[in-house]
Structure 1
Amino acid sequence: MKTYHKFFRTGLGLFLLAALLLSGCSSNEPSVFDTSVSTSEDTNVSRVPWDYRIVEGTVGDLIGSDMTVLPDNELMPNDGNYATGDKIWSLQYMDAEMTTGANQKTDVRLSSWDTIKTFKTQEEAKKDLANLKVNVTTEVDLVGVYQTKYKDQTRDFAVVELPSGNRIKQPIDDARYKELEKKKKVSVKLEEVHDFADYDSAYAKFRGWAS
């Protein structure tokens, strides 16, 4: 009986060790955006998808299975079997590093544009872009409205909380100030910018009032 228990404990230990090794070796395809979040006592830093665009270019030199794209001579995989001189369209993305301090103020640092995919036609590129930048109308929380005065001038502002959790301030006129003064929810237009490699990850940007 002691031998059996000893064998059982040894087998269980080997099984757990193998499971740990397998989990350490497995990996999923990383997102094009580093959406990792780091926090400290005073700050919260996250990286979110910010924008996409389509850029027209020309195939330059062919280097093995890669190609350069003019005018910037960016090196890209030649997945479309392009030839030198071909016109192509590139889908480029930009992400943003957002740092929120203890005072809830968010600083945004934008990355440079980077190419993730090329297309033979502009129409094909626009189809992908339409799925990555989506316009929606929805209700969000209205944090409040307030006024500032300087000499004889008065300015009105509204603060709303977007689905991403960040709060934004928008200037408004006197009529909208009176309309929103006692509201808790407000209808707005948003642009959802989705992660190319992880569509469920998105960042919502304010694009105007819905009414």
Structure 2
Amino acid sequence: MTRNGKKHPRSGHTFRLAAVLALSMLALLLLSACSDNEQSVFHSGSSADGQDMVSRVPWDYRIIEGSVGDLIGSDMTVLPDNELMPNDGNYATGDKIWVLQYMDAEMTTDSSQRSSVHLSSWSTIKTFKSQAEAKKDMANLKIPVTTEIDLVGVYKTQYKDKTRNFAVLELPSGNRIKQPIDDARYKALEKKKKVSVKLEEIHDFADYDSAYAKFRGWAS
């Protein structure tokens, strides 16, 4: 302000400069947020009514053959699904590539520990110039293990003249699954509390230390 109450001619310029700088900083923050790595697949919480537990976990990975479609700035479309991906490999239109895709699952567990699973569609997360490179990367995301897990119990069901046997297992994630078994395995497991099984650890590509274990068979 001048002594007669009028604004100094530089004050408006200073205000506009400060506003431009503030907007520039906001734009940089937004760009930084957009360029962050993929968020973890894992998520857990309660359903809308608060009665069930809902979890989101990585379910599977696969490798498929694809090709490069249109180039859009520093991105590219990946055929056959026309997914937009960063062109980190400096590919040209028509180049053959190998694509790593993932599928996640939304699992709802009720108070009786019964689970229902809803699978997502496949989504592309990475591209490779060779199938060997893609397989090497996926080998770190899907890992077979043999271990002991809790056996909740075994039971029989009967319909007319047919009897079926089942074993209920508790996975390391806390989810319970039901597996059909024959009479011999029913007798072998009837009094056991632990059982040796084959599992496949599906690791979260954005947080490798997090994994979901899937049942892949009996170890003995």
Shorter-chain TM range is 0.7 to 0.9
1:36 pairs with 2:43 = yes
TM-aligned CA distance change 1:126 to 1:112, over 3 Å: same
TM-score where L is the length of structure 1: 0.84
Deviation at 1:101, TM superposition (A): 1.5
Shift of 1:36: 2.3
Q: Aligned partners of 2:105 and 2:137: how far apart in 1?
A: 21
Aligned-partner residue type, residue 46 of structure 2: T
Aligned to 1:102: 111
| SS of structure 2 residue aligned to 1:131 | coil
Q: Rg: which structure is higher?
A: 2
- Specify which of 141, 149, 157 is matched with residue 150 of structure 2: 141
Seen in structure 2, the aligned counterparts of structure 1 residues 76 and 30 have a Cα distance that, compared at 3 Å, is: closer
Aligned match of 2:84: 75
Partner Cα separation in structure 2 for residue 111 and residue 83 of structure 1: 30
> Structure 1: which 5+ runs fail to align?
1-26
What's 1:174 paired with? 183
Q: Which residue of 1 aligns with 2:215?
A: 206
Distance in 2 between residues matched to 1:67 and 1:42, nearest whole Å: 44
Shifted more, 38-47 versus 148-157: the winner is 38-47
Question: Which amino acid in the other structure matches residue 45 of structure 2?
Answer: S
* Equivalences for residues 112-131 of structure 1 within 5 A: 112-131=121-140
Q: How far apart are the structure 2 equivalents of 1:157 and 1:142? A: 11
Determine if the alignment matches structure 1 residue 162 to structure 2 residue 171.
yes
Does the residue aligned with 2:133 lie in a helix, a strand or coil? helix
Match of 1:23 in 2: none
Q: Which one-letter code corresponds to 2:58 in the other structure?
A: P
**Offset at residue 72 of structure 1 (A):** 1.7
State the partner residue of 2:66.
57
User: Residue by residue, what CA displacement relative to the aligned partner does 1:140-183 show, whole Å, maximum 9, x if unpaired?
Assistant: 01111110111111100001111010110000000000111111
The residue identity in structure 1 corresponding to 2:172 is P
The 2-side partners of 1:29 and 1:86 are apart by 26
Q: Which runs of 5+ in 2 are unaligned?
A: 1-32
The 1-side partners of 2:38 and 2:128 are apart by: 22
| Alpha-carbon distance, 1:29 to partner | 4.7
State the shift of 1:103 in Å. 2.4
Q: CA deviation at 1:52?
A: 0.4
Q: CA deviation at 1:31?
A: 2.5
String of CA shifts for 1:15-70, please: whole Å, max 9, x gaps. xxxxxxxxxxxx9855341x222125411111111000001001111111111111
Code of the residue aligned with 2:60 in structure 1: it is: D
Q: What TM-score comes out, normalization by structure 2 length?
A: 0.81
Amino acid at match of 1:206: F
Q: Distance in 2 between matches of 1:108 and 1:205?
A: 13
Task: Give the Cα separation in 1 of the matches to 2:130 and 2:86.
Answer: 17
SS at match of 1:200: strand
1:96–1:108 CA contact under 8 A, matched in 2: yes
The share of aligned pairs that are identical, in percent, is 78
Instruction: Return the alpha-carbon distance in structure 1 between the equivalents of residues 87 and 74 of structure 2.
Output: 6
